[in-house]
A and B are shown apart, each in its own frame.
Chain A
Amino acid sequence: NAGVTQTPKFQVLKTGQSMTLQCAQDMNHNSMYWYRQDPGMGLRLIYYSASEGTTDKGEVPNGYNVSRLNKREFSLRLESAAPSQTSVYFCASSGLYYRNEQFFGPGTRLTVL
């Protein structure tokens, strides 16, 4: 089992460029999440998907879009990157119930110049 995989691991963009962060899980989880983590701060939820076909905004959705492509894959798109989006991005997945923990991907370190 690979668990949760994310690509790419590192990315440098120029202001205004677009990119998509890919995430996939092989644990048959219904719920998937995208977080950003800035230095000295905890995790902030960008978007999440409770199940295939549904997505919901989290705490900091502005400037991002998501697609739950199927049960396995959940992508995060930056349409027009800004320096404020420089961060480490984590994808996570979880089972349906409150006792189910989240499993995290290794993270993507994004720098926007």
Chain B
Amino acid sequence: AQKITQTQPGMFVQEKEAVTLDCTYDTSDPSYGLFWYKQPSSGEMIFLIYQGSYDQQNATEGRYSLNFQKARKSANLVISASQLGDSAMYFCAMREGNTGNQFYFGTGTSLTVIP
């Protein structure tokens, strides 16, 4: 089974609107971390936000927030007030606490912000 599933290959959003990028995960490890990365067309991988499995509150970093629903095993990224510079690929990833050092990545969502 896939550890990380991102079901939206491509998304469009109007500038200044909010957008939600979906991510579901699969693990039986009680300790895990969830991460979102941004990859602009220039190619570098940029860390955006982290959510731990024991965190009670949803993580926020500026315009990025994570809608963490543990029972549903989802960790959706919310970008508020979209900007043209948000156009990029977005990857969700998970790292388990007790089963090694691997990170599991989804296949990504391509976000295009329309002026």
Contacts and interface: CB of A to CB of B under 8 A. Distances in A.
Contact of B43 (A88, A92, A94, A101): A88
Interface in B86-107: 91, 93, 95-97, 100-103, 105-107
Contact of A98 (B37, B45, B91, B96): B96
Q: Interface size class for chain B?
A: 20 to 34
Interface stretch (B12-20, B28-36, B69-77): B28-36
A50 interface: yes
Interface of B is mostly: strand
Contacts, number: 56
B50 interface: yes
A43 B105 contact: yes
A83 B104 CA distance: 26
Nearest to B6: A42
A98 B43 contact: no
